[in-house]
């Protein structure tokens, strides 16, 4: 599942502001900000919508494994 730090990193790689992600998902920018700041618990369904929108924009999420923590990179076809 998407972590707050992955969401922040993906937005940075994609050049998306909170307001941009809000427009793509219909989720209020403050709600996204609360999630990314880990300021409050966010419903799993909301996190899934955020993840899908970021993936559609070109983010690839890398799960944590024995070699390190979770990460994010751009899809090879992302036009950045």
Is there a contact between 42 and 25 (Cβ–Cβ < 8 Å)? no
pTM: 0.91
What pLDDT does residue 39 have?
87
- Report how far residue 63's alpha carbon sits from residue 57's, in angstroms, rounded to the nearest whole number: 18
Please write the tens of the pLDDT for every residue from 12-40.
999 999 999 999 999 999 999 999 999 88
Tokens of 34: 């609360």
* pLDDT reported for residue 40: 86
Domains parsed from the chain with CATH numbers: 4-74 (1.10.260.40)
Separation CA 63–CA 15 (nearest Å): 22
- 44-72 per-position pLDDT tens digit: 999 999 999 999 999 999 999 999 999 99
d(CA 56, CA 2): 14
- Residue 79: pLDDT band (50, 70, 90) is low
């Amino acid at each position: 599942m998407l972590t707050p730090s992955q969401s922040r990193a993906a937005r940075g790689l994609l050049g998306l502001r909170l307001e941009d992600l809000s427009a793509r998902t219909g989720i209020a920018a403050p709600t996204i900000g609360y999630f990314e700041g880990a300021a409050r618990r966010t419903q799993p369904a909301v996190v899934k919508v955020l993840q899908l929108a970021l993936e559609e924009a070109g983010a690839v999420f890398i799960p944590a494994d024995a070699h390190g923590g979770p990460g994010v990179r751009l899809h090879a076809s992302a036009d950045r």
